[in-house]
Structure 1
Amino acid sequence: MARMPSAERRRQLTEAAIRVMTRDGVDRTTTRAIATEADVSLSVFHYCFDSKQALVESVITTITDHSVTVVRQALRPRSTLEGTVRAGFQAYWDHVLAHPDEHMLTYELTQYALRRPEFAHLARRQYELYGDAYAQLIDQLCRSMDLRLRVPVSVLARYLAAMTDGLTLNYLVLGEDSGWSDILDTVTAHIVGLVAEDPGPRP
């Protein structure tokens, strides 16, 4: 087996864990199954992760990064603010459509963590990551387009996290229909309305 840096090995095992958890469910996922999926020995797994908490946190962080990366790439300034914001939402939504099982896993991870006192901090960490990710994306957009907001970045970030969380769960329950595009248009219009018309101090 070829040697690789520990950070790269952790990434490999985390991606394997995501595949196994998506396929088998969090409760039924074992370290042996993850090691087999990654084609490494159990000793390598335990060298990289000294606890299941560490593995779950790595899975949560990686899944969040998957979504954030596609949105960040889509948020290049366009001719209008509305077009830029809509492109960001569309990039996220396309990721949901392409990887519904991965997004479903995020809700399963939340329930798994909340039902176990020793894991409860990971559920909180999961949603803090969502807020932090949106705050970074908002900052990126404001800097690239010289925007000022009507509300604090922290408030808008938590609002966006709650809104996309709810929309994603709705999609996973209701499935795809023609209404989602109109919903994304509505959300885009609302977010654009939270940008100040006259430049001023950032909140």
Structure 2
Amino acid sequence: MARMPSAERRRQLVEAAIRAMTRDGVARTTTRSISAEAGVSLSVFHYCFDSKQTLLEAAIETIIGDYVARVMQAAVEPKATLRDTVRVALQSYWDDVVAHPGEHMLTYDLTQYALREPGFEHLARAQYRQYVASATALIGQVCAARGIEPRLPVEVIAQSLAAIIDGLTLQFLVLGDEQAAASQLDITADQMVSLIEG
């Protein structure tokens, strides 16, 4: 097995864990199966991660971080209207849901696993804090680019956006209705503009 930097090896293991958990579910995925998926020994896993718990933290951060980066990039057009910018950002997220439904389903599985497994509850709280922090950063970026002072605190708007997106994502994963999802994204964009501008 070729030596690689530990950060790269960690990324390899996280990607393997995401694939394995998406396919098999969080509860059925073990450190041994993750190691096998990554093509490394169990000792390599334990060199990179203290436990399955620390790997789950890294997996949550990776999944959220990857789509948040795409959404933030989509929201940088300063000449677009606020509503158009919000709608483009929402669509960027939604494109990821449609392209990677298994990973988004995995986020719900991770939440439920963390809430049921003693000692893992903090992972679910951290996951949802990350959702709100990401939405806060996005809304702050959009407002700052336009010189807008939101009528409500940005974090309050972000909490609303995170809750709405969470519900819409789950609804789409269950029902698979793309037309209804597109309509809900339009409504969500209008709601966000209303919360920001009044």
Normalising by structure 2, report the TM-score.
0.95
What aligned pairs does 1:51-62 form with structure 2 within 5 A after superposition? 51-62=51-62
Q: Which residue of 1 aligns with 2:49?
A: 49
Q: Deviation at 1:83?
A: 0.9
* Aligned equivalents of 1:113, 1:25: Cα separation in 2: 13
CA distance in 2: counterparts of 1:155 and 1:134, whole angstroms = 10
Match of 2:2 in 1: 2
SS of alignment partner, residue 114 of structure 1: helix
Distance in 1, matches of 2:185 and 2:3, equals: 46
Structure 2: give runs of 5+ residues left out of the alignment.
Answer: none
1:1-203 equivalences in 2 (<5 Å): 1-77=1-77, 78-196=79-197
Which runs of 4 or more aligned residues in structure 1 lie more than 4 Å from their structure 2 counterparts after TM superposition? none
Q: Deviations over 1:174-201 (max 9, x none)?
A: 112422222111111111112237xxxx
Distance in 2, matches of 1:190 and 1:25, equals 34
Counterpart contact for 2:168–2:181, Cα < 8 Å: no
Q: 2:51 is aligned with what amino acid?
A: S
Structure 2 Cα separation of the partners of residues 45 and 60 of structure 1:
17
How far off is 1:79 after superposition? 2.5
- SS of match in other structure, 1:140: helix
Structure 1: 5+ residue runs without aligned partners?
198-203
What is the distance in 2 between the residues matched to 1:195 and 1:153? 8
Q: How many residues matched?
A: 197
99-108 vs 36-45, which deviates more?
36-45
Query: In structure 2, the residue corresponding to 1:178 is in which secondary structure?
Result: helix
> Could you say what secondary structure the match of 1:117 adopts?
coil
Deviation digits for residues 50-103 of structure 1 (CA, Å, limit 9, x no counterpart): 111101111111111122011011102242111111000000011000111100
In 2: Cα distance, 1:70 partner to 1:24 partner: 27
Partner-residue secondary structure (3-state), 1:147: coil
* Letter of the 1:8 counterpart: E
CA distance in 1, matches of 2:37, 2:184: 38
Residue 21 of structure 2 contacts residue 106 of structure 2 at CA under 8 Å; is this kept in 1? Answer: yes
Q: One-letter code of the match for 1:36?
A: A
Q: Which amino acid aligns with 1:112?
A: Y
| Cα distance in 1 between the residues matched to 2:166 and 2:65 | 15
